[in-house]
Amino acid sequence: MDTDHVQGPADAPLTLLEYGDYQCPYSGRAFGVVERLQLHFAGRLRFAFRHFPLVDKHPRAMPAALLAEAAADAGSFWGMHALLLSHQDSLEDTDLSRYAEQFGLPGTGGTRAHYQRVDNDLAAGRSAGVRGTPAFFVNGVPHEGGFDFESLREALDKVAIG
């Protein structure tokens, strides 16, 4: 999608897409795995992140996603993304306000545009069969294995080799 948050070259032969939830401990663990994969595959990997807040299980995931979108408007999505995933136990309103201030944001998000971006990600995930987080896709194909480094590296290697 045009609204995806991406890192890596646009012409990279490998694309790893994650649907994640800022309050999900598994998404938190996957964050470090993705960083390792980005180093391992260097300029051959494009990483995209889409929001998939599981609000029934993680009520603070939506406010965190909205803050990430507010940061995106200011060109600071990836910094906020890292902060939120590394402070999953601190996602209350006071925490989010402090993070917004730290990034020089006027607020914690929650505009109609922010909600729309998150809703679009949720809709795309549901239509792709996502039911939990993290959910990964390798070059558009759902990754059925684990989200540990070796499993994702092998899946990416398979695509790279052809």
Residue 76 phi/psi, 5-degree rounding, is: -125, 30
**Residue 73 burial class via C-beta count within 10 angstroms: exposed 0-12, middle 13-18, buried 19 and up:** middle
Q: Per the structure block, which two tokens stand in for 145?
A: 């294995």
Q: Which stretches of the chain drop beneath a pLDDT of 70?
A: 162
Residue 111 CA to residue 128 CA, distance in Å, equals 26
5-161: CATH topology: Glutaredoxin (3.40.30)
Residue 63 main-chain phi, psi, to 5 deg: -60, -35
Domain ranges in the chain are 5-161
* Whole-number pLDDT of residue 109: 86
What's the Cα-to-Cα distance from 93 to each of 30, 47, 58, 84, 147, rounded to whole Å? 24, 29, 14, 13, 30
Consecutive H or E run containing 109: none
pLDDT recorded at residue 104: 96
pLDDT in tens, 48-88: 999 999 999 999 999 999 999 999 999 999 999 999 999 99
Q: Are strands 14-20 and 135-138 parallel, antiparallel or unpaired?
A: antiparallel
Which pLDDT value is given to residue 2?
77
Asked if the peptide bond before residue 134 counts as cis, ω within 30 degrees of 0, the response is yes
Two tokens at 88? 């999953």
Q: Mutual orientation of helices 25-41 and 77-86 as an angle, nearest 10°?
A: 130
